[in-house]
Amino acid sequence: MSRSYQGVAVCVPQTVRYQRYSSHGAQYFFGTALRQLLSASGLQKSDVDGMSISSFTLAPDTGISVAEHLGIELRWLDQLILGGASGVVSLKRAARVVQNGDAEVVACMGADTCNPDSYANLMANFSDFSTFGVHAYGAGGPSAVFALATKQYMETHGVTREDFGRLCISQRQNARHNPNALLGDKELTMEAYLGARTVAEPLGLFDCVMPCAGAEAFLVMSEERARSLQLPYARIKAAEEGYNAHKDLDLPINGGWCNFREALYAEADAGPEDIQFLQSYDDYPVMVFRQLEDLGFCEYGGVVEYLEKTDLNVEGAGLAHNTSGGQLSSGQAGFAGGFLGVTEGLRQLTGQVLGCQIADARIGMVSGFGMVNYDRGLCSAAVILEAGESS
């Protein structure tokens, strides 16, 4: 049985402007995202018959509440609570739904609001394991767990804070023309990176994403439909997801991409050398390092050497990486952070960037990672996208 996504178009990348804090609820961000999708595509609300949504701050409302709130009638509805993997998985599932004919046009949206209390409340009640085994030690929230993972990685591979700093600085450079990046106009120097206040050793302020409010969204439909609407689109060459990988490993650094890397490249009939850009999940720099290893861009423990010879700048000749600046520059708008890589990948492939455009963008990868319920992230996903014909 073929695993191809032939005939499916992914298009209309939309971003609801990020804000540090908002007095609006999550429904505002879903509503605004849908409005932008319709306006940019020329479709009516009645043309959208499928919806896939992701949000932390929507609770106690759910996906069906969003349909009611926005007054939209649907044939297919899905809600994904997969953290930073949600965007890639949403794309993957919506593509199958369109392929099967269960829906014709699917709106995929990740949205969250943010206020000074919402983040702390979320962290205090994230999961049973977290409450029992992490929160009870003052370590609620992801930074403590990723500090443990980062320290362990640094000791194992001889990586320094300067090495992570160079990555953060390259992402900030990519953000400099992106008006949606909350930190885009603030240049990051090595001195500022190393001198920033410590959150949890060895993590400093600029290793941690800034929580904010916002939304990211896109549409999935048939290529035929996209062409008739004259929408530039991307095609899915291959997509994979995996959960609870490495459940028996002792080391806190875990990804899971390695479990499906070969299948992903085989289905795409491509290798890491063919990938022009990588939108990785950058909740913490150490996870970018792990994605570069796990997704086959370099050897395990070889990231520093790889970065010495590979330009990650969006305008460089190497591997354009987190071309809008990523979450480390834009802020993390909750679940929208898990959709940011997908929308930015689509922007590059369809010539609709917010900031810098890669020259002749034809093929790229988006990777997602999420849900630290106890001491490790449990969801990983990746997709290889290529520019569609009408782009």
Chain contacts with other proteins (rule: CB under 8 A): 120, 123-124, 128-129, 132-141, 143-145, 147-149, 151-152, 155, 197-203, 248, 250-252, 374-375
Nearer to other proteins, 139 or 292 (CB): 139
Q: Where are the alpha helices (DSSP H) in the chain?
A: 26-41, 63-70, 86-100, 118-124, 128-133, 142-157, 161-174, 190-195, 223-228, 261-268, 285-294, 303-309, 326-330, 337-350
Q: 309-326 as b/e, with b when 16 or more CB fall inside 10 Å?
A: ebebbbeeeebbbbbbbb
The number of beta carbons lying within 10 Å of the beta carbon of residue 241 is 18
Instruction: Please report how close the Cβ of residue 62 comes to other proteins at its closest, in angstroms.
Output: 24
Between helices 285-294 and 142-157, what is the axis angle to 10°? 60
Antiparallel, parallel or unpaired: β 377-387 and 8-19: unpaired
Give whichever of 4 and 156 is closer to other proteins, judged by the CB atom: 156
- CA–CA separation, 187 vs 24, rounded Å? 30
State in angstroms the smallest separation of the CB of 242 from other proteins.
Answer: 18
CB of 68 to other proteins, least distance (A): 33
Task: Name the minimum Å distance from CB 198 to other proteins.
Answer: 5
Residue 10 vs 147, nearer CB to other proteins: 147
CB-based contacts of 391: which residues, under 8 Å, 6+ apart?
232, 233, 234, 349, 350, 351
Nearest approach, Cβ of residue 359 and other proteins (Å): 41
* Closer by beta carbon to other proteins, 132 or else 263: 132
Output the CA–CA distances (angstroms, integers) from residue 363 to 5, 258, 386, in the order listed: 15, 20, 4
Of the two residues 204 and 232, which places its CB atom closer to other proteins in the complex?
Answer: 204
- Host H or E run for residue 200: strand 198-200
With respect to other proteins, which residue has the nearer C-beta, 172 or 246?
246
Q: What is the C-alpha separation between 247 and 115, in angstroms, rounded?
A: 34
- The nearest distance, CB 77 to other proteins, in angstroms, is 29
Return the axis-axis angle of helices 26-41 and 63-70, rounded to nearest 10°: 60
Q: How far is the CB of 256 from other proteins (least distance, A)?
A: 16
Q: Which of 71/116 has CB closer to other proteins?
A: 116
